[in-house]
Amino acid sequence: MTTETIQDDLAFIKKIVEESRKNVGLSGDHLIVWGLLVSIGLMVTWANHYFQWHASEWLHWILVIGGGWLFEIIYGRTVDRKKPVLTYAEKIDGFLWLSIGITMTLLGFIGIGTHGIHPHVISPIFSTILAIGYFSSGVIYDVKWIRNLAFGWWGGAIIMFIFPGLYHLLFMAAMMVVLQTIPGFIIKKTWGEKYGVN
């Protein structure tokens, strides 16, 4: 392989990444919605245990997760009509997060529902899964600070694994706000202003 060929390949890859970045701002909406929904769900679950309300946790989590997936369906159809053709990088990233969403939904409902996973470890498990998503997305779009959010998720998972307890719910809710919702707003604002994507 010649030097000229390598340079051409690198230029092509750089072009794909840059084209993909134009629509990164749209992912901010997903992060914001899921971050807010899940953090609220976690706080309600904590309150339910702490104040011993004995309310149905299954019902409110069905509403939370169902609301998130409903948003994805409606938002996806709306955006697909306005959005240009997806780049290969965007398709990879989209399928990555789709698989993460399906995995977490199955673990949350089936894993806990069948007692295959103890509820006390579900938050750190989710935290490690989210770390994979952020690390991979950061690499795909070549955005280091998005990639580095993964270390926050991994660090939080370590803390929750070592020190189990009811506080996990509030801790995870805080992580959802700091490591997902706020970055979602930053991504939306940064790429929205740069490329006019909102």
- For residue 183, give the nearest of 13, 44, 53, 28 by alpha carbon: 28
User: What are the tens digits of pLDDT across the range 89-125?
Assistant: 788 888 999 999 999 999 999 999 999 999 999 999 9
Whether residue 62 has pLDDT greater than 80 = yes
d(CA 116, CA 137) in angstroms, rounded, equals 30
Q: What is the pLDDT of residue 182?
A: 96
Domain boundaries, the chain: 25-188
Q: What is the pLDDT of residue 54?
A: 84
Whether residue 6 has pLDDT greater than 60 = no
Q: What percent of the chain has pLDDT over 90?
A: 59
User: What are the tens digits of pLDDT across the range 139-195?
Assistant: 888 889 999 999 999 999 999 999 999 999 999 999 999 999 999 999 888 876 554
The answer to whether 160 and 120 have CB atoms below 8 angstroms apart is no
The residue with tokens 């580095």 is 148
Q: What is the pLDDT of residue 89?
A: 77
Mean pLDDT across the stretch 12-39?
75
Q: Which residue has the higher pLDDT, 29 or 169?
A: 169
